[in-house]
Amino acid sequence: MNEVELLEGLLQRYSPTHQEAEAVNYLVTQMTALGYTAHIDEAGNAVGVIGDGPQAVMLLGHIDTVPGFISVKRDGDKLYGRGAVDAKGPLACFTAAGALVGVRSGWRIIVIGAVCEEGDSRGAQFVRDHYQPDRLIIGEPSSWDRITLGYKGSAWFEYEVKRTLTHTSANVESACQAAVNFWNRVATRLAEFNADKPKMFDQLIPSLRGMNSHSNGFVEAAQLKFNLRLPMGINIVEVATLIQAQAIDATAKLVEGIPAYRAEKNTPLVRAFLSSIRKFQGTPGFTMKSGTSDMNLVAPAWQCPAVAYGPGNSDLDHTPEEHILISEYQRAIQILTEVLRTV
């Protein structure tokens, strides 16, 4: 098995959300050649299984990417391509490590390349409802010597305000001004919430992602679309109430939300990673991510030991310069192989 060519081939199959079929077919073919029993499930996920034991390790990655094609090329130790970091690098790492371990008595190794993680997570939702693993590893970049224990939650909102049209000389708040004032109130309220919370993981972080306005000649309307990254200890209803309180004569509607999640640190899975990273001359560390992943969706349902792990620098996620270090990718395969043999 050439693990670099495995990843390179996966990167060459451009697969933004809802366009994953070619990459899924490729991965299932490669899994079969590597000794997996592989198939495409009803949600369109690539699924590979090694072994038939009663206990299962689930390695759940995602095969879709954000849009933006990046030419696949090697430049010394760098391998460029959309998804090299987020998250085909970790997914290929999972596939290679599982193949190197092979059949292990009493265990099943399940590797899944889920669709739509960058969208509505329908792939992970299907997996959540059809499996109950004993160990869970989520495929997201953490770098080879760190493991991720938690992700912030996420809540999406749509705001709309309407105002009767007036002459521009009138001293009357327009719909656009009302939208700006609303957003400023949200920012002020969240700054107050965050004032005694120095760590980003504990803060409510707003991000304005869309704005629009229009008029029919009598009434003007302004819309905002925005996201909040949620810390532990705050639920979706509480957040929605806080946001709606800032809307005056307008609506701020919660579209979708998922709570934050933090895994336990003292588990056999975590200990296996710490030991393996040390074995390969690394100094292990923990990280908590300000983004959201499929861990938020499946880990609370399964209630098993969980971590997120994968090679790559997450600062390169979604950027035009997305690339992975081949040496880091190969080191991560070694570490994960050891984990799967001992956990």
Q: What does the pLDDT read at residue 173?
A: 86
Distance CA 152, CA 168 (A): 43
Residue in this structure with the two tokens 């991510």, named with its chain if needed: 289
- Name which of 245, 244, 222 is nearest 163 in CA terms: 222
Distance CA 169, CA 14 (A): 52
Are the C-beta atoms of residues 243 and 186 closer than 8 Å to each other?
yes
Q: What does the pLDDT read at residue 165?
A: 76
CATH 3.40.630.10-classified regions of the chain: 3-151+260-342
| Cis status, amide bond into 87, omega within 30 of 0 | yes
Q: What does the pLDDT read at residue 111?
A: 98
Average pLDDT, the chain: 95
- Name which of 338, 313, 322, 282 is nearest 137 in CA terms: 338
Q: Rounded to 5 degrees, what are φ and ψ at 258?
A: -145, 135
What residues contact residue 160 under an 8 Å CB cut-off, 6+ apart?
Answer: 221, 222, 223, 224, 250, 251, 253
Q: What does the pLDDT read at residue 208?
A: 97
Q: Is 22 a catalytic residue?
A: no
Average pLDDT over residues 48-73: 97
Q: What does the pLDDT read at residue 169?
A: 62
- Name which of 159, 176, 157 is nearest 168 in CA terms: 176
Q: What does the pLDDT read at residue 299?
A: 97
Distance CA 40, CA 23 (A): 11
**Highest-confidence range of 164-168, 233-237, 324-328, by mean pLDDT?**
324-328
pLDDT digits (tens, 9 = 90+) for 277-303: 999 999 999 999 988 999 999 999 999
Q: What does the pLDDT read at residue 223?
A: 97
Q: What does the pLDDT read at residue 172?
A: 79
- Report residue 271's pLDDT band, with 50, 70 and 90 as the boundaries: very high
CATH 3.30.70.360-classified regions of the chain: 153-258
What percent of the chain stands above pLDDT 90?
93
Q: What does the pLDDT read at residue 328?
A: 97
Query: In Å, what is the CA distance from 310 to each residue of 183, 273, 338?
Result: 36, 12, 14
Q: Which of 8, 20, 117, 134 is catalytic?
A: 117
Domain 3-151+260-342, what architecture?
3-Layer(aba) Sandwich (3.40)
Are the C-beta atoms of residues 80 and 329 closer than 8 Å to each other?
no
What is the fold of 153-258? Alpha-Beta Plaits (3.30.70)
Q: What order of strands is seen across the sheet that includes strand 78-80?
A: 73-75, 78-80, 323-325
pTM of the model: 0.91
- Name which of 114, 7, 82 is nearest 317 in CA terms: 82
Q: Is 117 a catalytic residue?
A: yes
Q: What does the pLDDT read at residue 170?
A: 62
Angle at 145 between CA 305 and CA 1, to 5 degrees: 90
Torsion-angle region of residue 35: left (phi > 0), alpha (psi -120 to 50) or beta? left
- Report residue 216's pLDDT band, with 50, 70 and 90 as the boundaries: confident
Distance CA 35, CA 183 (A): 54
Whether the per-residue pLDDT at 249 is higher than 90: the answer is no
Looking at the DSSP assignment, which residues form a beta bridge with residue 207? 227
pLDDT digits (tens, 9 = 90+) for 138-174: 999 999 999 999 999 999 999 999 998 766 666 678 9
What residues contact residue 108 under an 8 Å CB cut-off, 6+ apart?
Answer: 49, 50, 51, 52, 53, 55, 56, 57
Q: Which of 64, 140, 322, 338 is catalytic?
A: 64
Least confident of 38-42, 64-68, 100-104, 231-235: 231-235
Whether the per-residue pLDDT at 27 is higher than 80: the answer is yes
Q: Rounded to 5 degrees, what are φ and ψ at 292?
A: -130, 145
